[in-house]
Structure formats: C-alpha cells, structure tokens
Structure 1
Amino acid sequence: MKKTILKLSTPLGIMFLSTYLVIGCSKDETTTTTETDQSTNDNTEVVIDDTDFEPTDWTTETHSKDADPDFDEVFDDTAVKRFDFVISEDNWAAMLANMTSLYGTFGRGGGGTNFSDEDPIFVPAEVYYNGKQWYKVGVRFKGNSSLSNTWGSGILKLAFKMDFDEYEDDYPQIKNQRFYGFKKFSLKNNYADKSMLREKVVADIFKNAGLAMSHTAFYTLYVDHGDGPQYFGLYTLVEEVDNTVIDTQFSSDNGNLYKPEDYGASFVDGTFNEDGFEKKTNEDEADWTDIKDLFSALHASTRTTDPTAWRAGLDAVLDTDVFLHYLAVNTVIQNWDTYGRMAHNYYLYNSPDTNKLTWIPWDNNEALQTGNMGGSLPLNFSGLSSSSWPLIGYLYSDSVYKAKYDAYVQDVVYGAFNVNTMQTTYTTYAALIESYATTEVSGYTFLNLSSDFQTAVNTLKTHVSSRASAVSSYLK
C-alpha cells in the first residue's frame, strides 16, 4: 500500500524506550489518504486510512450514545484504572512535529516562554480499556503554559484531550461513539504536582461543598506509537464541562456555556470582547447578551448610590450566591492560577433553571499551595485592586455580600475542607496511587526522586492544618 511521507520541519531527535507489554493492542498500517493540518505551516499531515473495519467490541452500554453516562465505571474513587493508546508511527511523528511548530524544540529549556493561540492537532488512535477497544478516537495534546513547560523540559508526560467521535465523518462505523456514555475527556498530567493529588482532591472539595464540578479519577496511561506500549505515567481523568457536567448537573444543557480567557475575562469595565468569552454551546448564535448584561450590572452606578438596587441588578444576571461560595472554597484551600490572579480557569453557564450565569471552576492542579505570580488569593480582599478584579473587589466591599462570603469561609473549614476529613482523604488517596506514582520512568515524570511523592503528600497534610488556623484568624 502507498504510504504518506510526513515532512517534518524540525528534527526531533527523540528516542523512545518501551518496557511494558499489553495484550490485544495492534496497529493498522494500511494508509491511503491524509488530512493536512491547515492551522500551522509545519507541513505535518494526519494520516487517515480507508481500511474497512467492523467495531467488534461495540455494545450499547460501552460505546453507544444511547447509554447514560456511567459515572461509577469511569470515575471510581477506589481504583486506579488504565488506558492504552495505540497511535501510528506517522501520526505520532505528526503530533511531535506540530508541537515543535507551536512550542519550539523539545527539551529546549527556559520554562514556559513559548505560548500558542492554536490547539495541537488531533490524530486518530485506538483506545483500549479493560479488554475492550474504542476505535479511531481523536486524541491530541492539551494545555498551554503547562504544555509548553512540560515540552520545554523534555518530558513526554503530556496532557491529552480525548474525543470519541472526532473522526466519525471519516469512519461512519464509529458515529456517535461514546466511552460509557461520555463523548470526551481531559486526561491531565498532574503538571507541577509531585503529590499527583491536587486535581483530584480539589474537584472533590468543590463537589462536597455542593458546587457544580467535573468528576475526576486516577488513570495510568500507556502509549504505543510504534515500538510497543510505553508507560507515560499516572494521570487524572477529568469530566468535560461542555459535555456531561452541564447535561447532568443542571436541568438542561441548552444554555450558553462560556470558557473565558484573556483581559476581558477579568471583568474590568470596558474590556468586554467576544473572543474573551469563547462559546462552548450555541456557537452559531452570535449572542453574548448575558455576558454584556453582567458587565453592565457589575459596573452600574447604583453600586455606590443605591447598593440595594445594585445587588438586585447583579443577582438577576449572576448567581452571586454560587460565586461567593466558590470564592470562599477557592480562598480557603488557596489557589493562585485562578480568577483574582489570572483571567482564566473557569466556565460560566447560563443555567436554564435560573437564567443566571453560574460559575464553574476548572483546572485546579495549582491549588492547595501558596503559589506563584504574587501568591494565592488572600482570605481578606481589602487590599485587592477592585479596578483589576471587580467581580471580587466590588462584592467584597459590599457588606451584604461580604457577610455571605464570610459565612461560607467558616462553612468550608467545618465541612468540605475539614482538617480531619482531609487528612484521611490524603492518606487514602496516597496509598491508592503511590505504587503508580513512584514507578514513573525518567522522561515521563515530574518527580526527581521517588521520595518526592510522599514529601509532597506530607506538605498537603500540613497545609490543611495551616489553613484552618488562617481562617480562624481571619474570622476573629
């Protein structure tokens, strides 16, 4: 069969060592057509073969859109499960060449200085789980600063995005393919987290506080890109907000969902722009009225002349109770890569239940620590620049909203972030994942020594006690 020759713009010089075996993973090398990535000029080509195949492992429960999401199967808090990806040599080379185009030379050093406005390319992969195969699943690398840092450090434990029907137009056999009722996931690499617990634990904390939040679970990942399965390490599987979160945690998924990112996402007066509030649902409807209404209500002159009217106007467009509850959790646990420091890492959903925008947290691997870039958000926002972060500054300056925030702060340390509960959680999860975390291999790990894992867990245990003390001092 004729095979497409990939033109790699930059020599990668990457060698891969395979030391793990998996039963039943095979590679289809029959290649007849290609799709060229038009978003970059790196000359990478994604190989699409026209081989006729029958999805023999397909069942309604495991593969069909007709099945309800099986949270117990996919997001099991008591087990570490395993994914295997099989990616053709050509498509793996295309992924790496595309990364070089977007983020520079692999192992370049210098930290996360290279950023990209473009997502890495998708390629079709075979995904194996618990003895079953999922066919032509779209997989790509994901992230931005974390992706750039990991790539630049010469570490191949990269985060992935998985979309199970990304290639249904090319392969009608997989139309509406799902993974136990789920269309897509983020498979996060626990970047900058030697405990490998933060993404999972923070999601649990938000959920236990009663807020809308993605489910998470621990998975190991093996990737075969031509030389046999390679252990890529311990990952955290994260439920996608624009898939099952809004479908199962709200009455309907028909509302507008936004993933804000950029200066406008700080809600500074006069900075609204459509690009800063990317629509994840209803994309064909060029309507940002609900976001514009939030800007107008937040910056209304009544904030200083008639606070009661101002609160009524803001409450009509934003679920302020949810936001204040989220803010309390976020500040008690500590977070720096978050609103108030960075204009990203949250979603806004216009809930059909209330016709109000609801805040949904996202990307929490940098929480549970003092942090970088000026440090984590303080409990007391009196010193925060309201002109830079008005959604926090204005609400905290209002006595009614501040009282609600303070009450939630106290609730958090008594409930979702209780010291005794968290100590048990850290101990339980650490015991569950330790053998998988400490056996990650060089080039696919953020650990320098296997002992780094337990040291990081101990730091988390100390941290929760210190936060209880900080809350006690704040509320005096």
Structure 2
Amino acid sequence: MPPYTLSRRSFGAALAGVVGLAVLGACAETSSSGGGDTAGSGLFDDSTVHDIGFTFEQADYDAMIDAYVADSSKKWIEATVSIDGTTFEKAGLRLKGNSTLRGLTKAGSTDTGSGQQGRGGPGGELSSDKPQDLPWLVRLDKNVDGQAFGDYTEFVVRSNNSATALNEAVALELLGLAGLATQKSVSTRLSVNGGTEVLRLIVENPGDQWDAANFSSAGILYKAEADGDYSYRGDDAADYEDVFDQESDTDNENYAPLAAFLKFINQSDDATFAAELDKHLDVSAFTTYLAFQELIKNSDDIDGPGNNSYLRYTTDTDQFTVVAWDHNLAFGGMGGGGGNRGGGPGRNGAVMPSGAPDGGGQMQAPAGGGRMGGRSNILVTRFNADATFKASYDKALTDLRAGLYTSGKAAEILQQRAAVLTAKATDLVNADTITSEADAIKANFT
C-alpha cells in the first residue's frame, strides 16, 4: 500500500476533533511526501533559506534559449551548481515548464517558443536576459553518475506570480496533510553566474526517485503535457507522444495501461463509468484531489489551462492515481477563485455523461462554486455529472475545510513559512511584502 494511502484513509477519522487532528499530523509525518525535511537534515530543510548558485557558459545558455524559441525544445546544458557551499561539477540544467514558459522571450525580441508575442505565462513575463527568474530542472547526476546532495539528485526551480511563493509552499504542505502525494519545497536565494540573488522556491521533481519514495509498489508515472488532454487516441504509444510523457522507468516505455484507462473514461457509458470507475482509478484519492484544489482556489489544475497533473499507474492493482502538480497559482494566484470543473464532448469516441452540453460548451459549475478552467477534462466532467461521486466530493470539501482551515493547521504552516522569510530573506523581499502576501493567503482560511 502506498505510504500516502495510510495517511489519506486516516483523514476522515482525524476530522472528528482535536485528538483526530493529532492523528492526522502523525500520519502525515509517516509519509515521505508530506512537508519538508526534518530541520537540519538536508536540501528540503524548510527552517532556513538555502543558498544555490548556477555557473554556465553564456554560449551554451544562448543556444538553449535559441532552441526553445525555435520549436519549444528544452535542451540540457552543463553547469556547476553550488548548494549551501557544496559544489557539483558537470550538473545538468534545462528549462522546466509548459504554460509557465509561454511568456519567455529572447532578450531584445518579442518572439516566444510557443509562438505567442510576449504573453506572460503563470510565471509572469520571462526574459532570457534574466536567467535567475526562469523555471529550471536541475539534475546533479546528469553527467556524473551518483552525484547527489544528500538523498537528492534533482529538483525544480519554480516560477511564481508572487514575490514570496508562499502560496505554493503552503499548498504543497497542506496537500501532504490531506493524505495525497505531494512534493517537498524550500525557499532559496538563487544566483546565476555570480549575478543578483533572488528568492526562489525549489520543489522535488516527480520522477523515479520521487515515485519510489511515495509509492511502495511498482508502477509507471505519466505527466500530462500542457497542450494535450485526456482523450483516447488509440492503442499505439506514438499516439500519446505529444500529450503524455513517461517520467519513471523510462527505459521500458509502456503506454498500454494509459491507453486502456483513457479508453474507459472516454468510451464507457454512464452506468458502466459509475459502477466500474473504482476498478480503474483510486476514486477516494481523486475525490480528495478535486476537493483540495477547490479549497486552495487553484484554477490551474487537471482541468485548468495548463492541464497540470500526473497519472500514476500501480501495477499490482491495475489502477491509476491522479497526482497533483503545479501549485504556483494556488489561493487565487490566477486572479480568480474556483472555476468550472465541467467540460464539453471528448474526442475520438468519447461518450459524454447525461446532462453534458452539446457542441463543446462547458457544463454548469458544481453547487457552491466551481472552477474556472479554460479547458475541459473528460474525467472531471464525467465524475461531477454523477450524483454519488458529486456527493462524495462535497463531503470531502467540507472535511478538508474543517481539518486544514478550521483546525488552524493551515494558519500554523503559513506562519512558520512566513517567519523563515522574515528572519532570513528580507534582503531579497521586504518584510511588508512578506506580511501582505501571507495575509492574502490567510484570508482564504476563513
């Protein structure tokens, strides 16, 4: 059983009262996915602001940017990476992100790799003349086998619309407390080629190492691409090259389980979908996932404009789990609250649920709000169209609000994260900004 499953199934009991909430905290601590490292234990010690530096050849960097602007390809470059005084030679760097990078322009130009003219993505306006502001994937072992900082060989430098990135840091900790697989995160002061230091959040990268730490049984991790969707495209792996990437066990490409899952959610009739979804999907985890994204007002999730999610196939149960990813727009970071979780007809033989609109229009938002999406996800649409699943979602949302917000747990996490920045990073972000951004997040808890 995955370690986070124990935590998740203990969550309902945890909401009963103060004793239950203590159980929630204890369970979350047993999961390798929840919260940060124990203080002082390494890269993801969130009690401090870590020092990180990149050094690379300008020509290599320029070629990488040119490649992205030309066709959105993400080329690796070699770099020296320093972390808290430890230096790693021949590490690998590449751009990380899809919708986030839509705002990337080459210095002196308005051309972007996505064909858009200077349009900012979720990370805001990004320019190649400010590499310290870009989203990065860092692999310490890219060119040197076994090179690692403690237990970690890779991490992601995240972009955010806010100055502090407190919204994503808090969301990720709360995700772990909700009993779902999450990513550890810490604040860092990042410099590139000896330039100005900036405050950046780094998080774990979902891959082989992360997968092994969060799931106790064998499986495959797939990442949904920003320009893709959850439509069924056939049984050939080549049909999914541009819409899903296999992120774990990449030496053994296998898209057959993914194709079978997508075929079921697109082509099953309503009765079969309702009766058999739990054979194909961890429905409890998915219900919690949807409710959690609503709770933190994240409009950029599985059915948002970035198609942000991973699908994890567990071999021994023949079942998928939706894994949350990309919370830099949590707590209304896109400028809005929830959104419409509905969607229009799917592609390639999708059987739409009863009550779905014709012609690709969006369904009505669920009672009590809903999500602003910008796209439709067939799994979310069909799930919300079923009264039993919808009732489970409503209950999960109520329970999560009580367990994370009313309990004071979210406020405690926010206070701890903000206090670290106030104590150690006011040379990068002034104290008033830290306070105002923390207050804006806290307003969501009531």
- Structure 1 and Structure 2 fold alike (TM over 0.5): yes
In the alignment, which residue of structure 1 is the partner of 2:27? none
Match of 1:54 in 2: none
Q: Does 2:143 match 1:167?
A: yes
Shift of 1:93: 3.4
> Which amino acid is 2:126 matched to?
W
Identify the residue that residue 209 of structure 1 maps to in structure 2. 178
Report what 2:244 is aligned to. 277
Once residues 181 and 312 of structure 1 are traced to their aligned partners in structure 2, the CA distance between those partners, rounded to angstroms, is 42
Deviations 1:88-113 (A, max 9, x none): xxx13321343255349xxxxxxxxx
Match of 2:91 in 1: 137
1:400 Cα shift?
1.8
**CA distance in structure 2 between the aligned counterparts of 1:133 and 1:155, rounded to whole angstroms:** 22
* Maintained 8 Å contact 2:208/2:247: no
- 1:412 and 2:400 equivalent? yes
SS of the aligned residue for 2:126 comes to helix
Which of 125, 150, 172 is residue 180 of structure 1 equivalent to?
150
| Pairs within 5 Å for 1:261-410 | 261-262=225-226, 264-265=228-229, 267-268=230-231, 273-275=239-241, 276-303=243-270, 307=271, 309-369=272-332, 371-372=334-335, 376-377=338-339, 380-381=365-366, 388-410=376-398
Structure 1 residue identity aligned to 2:259: K
1:24-103 matches, within 5 Å, as 72-87=41-56, 91-100=57-66, 102-103=68-69
Letter in 2 for 1:164: L
For structure 1, the residue ranges without an aligned partner over 5 or more in a row are: 1-68, 105-115, 169-174, 441-446, 466-476
- 1:230 aligned counterpart, secondary structure: coil
Q: Does 1:123 align with 2:82?
A: no
The residue aligned with 1:52 is none
Q: Deviations over 1:300-352 (max 9, x none)?
A: 4431xxx3x43342211111211111000001111112222225221111123
With over 3 angstroms needed to count, the CA separation of the structure-2 counterparts of 1:80 and 1:262, relative to structure 1, is closer
1:348 is paired with a residue of what secondary structure? strand
Distance in 2 between residues matched to 1:422 and 1:435, nearest whole Å: 20
Distance 1:343 1:320, change over 3 A: farther
Partner SS state of residue 438, structure 2: helix
1:462 matches 2:443: yes
One-letter code aligned to 1:126: T
Instruction: Write the distance in 1 (CA, Å) between the matches of 2:37 and 2:268.
Output: 48
Alpha-carbon distance between aligned partners in 1 of 2:249 and 2:94, rounded to the nearest angstrom: 24
Query: Percent identity between the aligned chains?
Result: 25
Q: Mark the CA change 1:240 to 1:427 in structure 2 (over 3 Å): closer, same or farther.
A: same
Contact 1:297–1:313 (CA<8 Å) still a contact in 2?
no
**Greater Cα shift, 320-329 or 288-297:** 288-297
Deviation at 1:166, TM superposition (A): 1.0
Structure 1 position 386, deviation (Å): 13
The alignment's TM-score, normalised by the length of structure 1, stands at 0.67
Deviations 1:47-73 (A, max 9, x none): xxxxxxxxxxxxxxxxxxxxxx97732
Contact in 1 for aligned 2:98/2:226 (Cα 8 Å): no
Deviation digits for residues 214-268 of structure 1, max 9, x if unmatched? 1111121233x2xxx323311112111113321111113x422111125542x24
What is the CA distance between 1:405 and its match in structure 2? 0.9
Matching residue of 1:9 = none
The structure 1 residue matched to 2:206, chosen from 232, 237, 241, is 241
- Post-superposition CA distance 1:109-134 (Å, at most 9, x none): xxxxxxx5311x32222222333322
Find the partner of 1:433 among 384, 407, 421: 421
The change in CA–CA distance for 1:386 and 1:136 in structure 2 (over 3 A counts) is closer
Q: Judging changes above 3 Å, is the alpha-carbon distance between structure 1 residues 137 and 262 closer, same or farther for their aligned structure 2 residues?
A: closer
Given the superposition, is the C-alpha separation of residues 369 and 457 from structure 1 closer, same or farther in structure 2, using an over 3 Å criterion?
same
Secondary structure, in 3 states, of the residue corresponding to 1:125? strand
> TM-score, normalised on structure 2?
0.71
Once residues 400 and 153 of structure 2 are traced to their aligned partners in structure 1, the CA distance between those partners, rounded to angstroms, is 33
Cα distance in 2 for partners of 1:388, 1:84 equals 40
- CA drift at 1:391: 1.1
Match of 1:260 in 2: 224
One-letter code aligned to 2:250: E
Rounded Cα–Cα distance in structure 2 between residues aligned with 1:329 and 1:341 = 14
Q: 2:340, 2:130 → 1: CA distance?
A: 33
Q: Tell me how many residue pairs correspond in the alignment.
A: 357
Q: Is the 8 A contact 1:336 1:377 kept in 2?
A: yes
What per-residue deviation string (whole Å, max 9, x for no partner) do you get for residues 189-210 of structure 1? 4x21233212211110110101
1:151 partnered with 2:115: no
Equivalent in the alignment of 2:161: 192
Q: Which amino acid aligns with 1:202?
A: A
Gaps of 5+ in 2: 1-35, 105-119, 342-364
Return the alpha-carbon distance in structure 1 between the equivalents of residues 436 and 51 of structure 2.
25
